[in-house]
Amino acid sequence: MKNKSNQMMRAVAIDEFGGIEKMKPRELPVPDVARDEILVRVDTAGVGVWDPFEREGGFAKEFGMQAEFPHVLGSDGAGTVEEVGDAVQNLNPGDRVYGINLMSPKGGFYAEYTVMKANNAALIPQALSTRDAGVLAVDGVTALNGLDKTLQLKAGESILILGASGGIGHLAVQLAKRMKARVLAVASGQDGVAFVKRLGADKVIDGHREDILKAAREFAPKGLDAALLTAGGNAAKQAIGALREGGRAAYPNGVEDVPQAPDGVKVMSYNGEPSPQAFAKLNALINGGPFEVHIARTFKLDDAAEAQRALDDHYLGKLALVMR
């Protein structure tokens, strides 16, 4: 294997946890590749709503990890395999891959190159460009795990998806339709409603202007079977209130202000854990027809701090960093 460790790369890293001002463009060595790892030349990195939590040290604390500085940020992205470790059998140089690289001691995706465990990466579905796949991994796995493993959504069931125009939500709407469920989507703003209608939801409402309970009762008069909550607060409370006896709701860990479950209803939290099985199922569902992974705005690598600031703006889908 050719060794890139004497090569340098552009990256955005922090020397300590803290505010947005800690993020600096740097020249750093390309990391070495261990036996179970791959080296990826990054095309696109996702900018997730959880990235500031990583920057502030939240994940390090949650996972009980001692971070190594300088720490390269960026939990998901996509690119081309440049090199594979001796034990890697399922991926080869030249493959287009996407994956998750959260809190890796070798650094994340805010860089021209990243090294990741081969099990945390997968081939990009045929239908998607490398650019679009750059924002797919964390949100896609989180959406799928919520629908499939946690809610165990079945064909013909009714589901409310809250935050349907966001990163996780817009993927969940399409995946739930692939799983043959009936989807009531709660989006944000008129642009969000138009966007989610285009994605194929059976009914879409604007969560800021319309009554969620009323819409749910019209959509499923006997109560909804399930709800996927990518946001908390009053909207989540209404969504849970619209569930039938024996109904269930799920929310990814990190969603704040999630209401308590009333009697007869299950409310479950879960993690978007990557695994080869999760990626295989996600790819199979995506390859079932046209599928949209929506990038609202792209930023150059050196503007990563500006991209994290933009997380507070109203946008549809996801933000991304592009390397070239």
Q: Are strands 24-29 and 8-14 parallel, antiparallel or unpaired?
A: antiparallel
Annotated domain spans of the chain = 8-136+293-322, 138-270
pLDDT in tens, the chain (324 residues): 455 657 999 999 999 999 999 999 999 999 999 999 999 999 999 999 999 999 999 999 999 998 899 999 999 999 999 999 999 999 999 999 999 999 999 999 999 999 999 999 999 999 899 999 999 999 999 999 999 999 999 999 999 999 999 999 999 999 999 999 999 999 999 999 999 999 999 999 999 999 999 999 999 999 999 999 999 999 999 999 999 999 999 999 989 898 788 899 999 999 998 999 999 999 999 999 999 999 999 999 999 999 999 999 999 999 999 998
Residue 259: per-residue pLDDT: 79
Contact assessment for residue 270 and residue 254, using Cβ atoms and an 8 Å cutoff: no
Distance (Å) of CA 63 to CA 2, 44, 59, 77, 102: 33, 26, 6, 21, 11
In CATH terms, 8-136+293-322 corresponds, of 1.10.10.10, 1.10.10.60, 2.60.40.1180, 3.90.180.10, to: 3.90.180.10
Residues whose CB falls within 8 Å of the CB of residue 229, separated by 6 or more in sequence, listed in order:
162, 163, 236, 239, 240, 249, 250, 251, 255, 258
Query: What is the tens place of the pLDDT at every residue in 71-110?
Result: 999 999 999 999 999 999 999 999 999 999 999 999 999 9
Question: Do 174 and 151 contact (CB within 8 A), yes or no?
Answer: no
pLDDT the model gives residue 26: 97
pLDDT of residue 1: 46
* CATH label, 138-270, candidates 3.40.50.720, 2.40.160.60, 3.40.30.10, 3.30.1490.190: 3.40.50.720
pLDDT on residue 174: 98
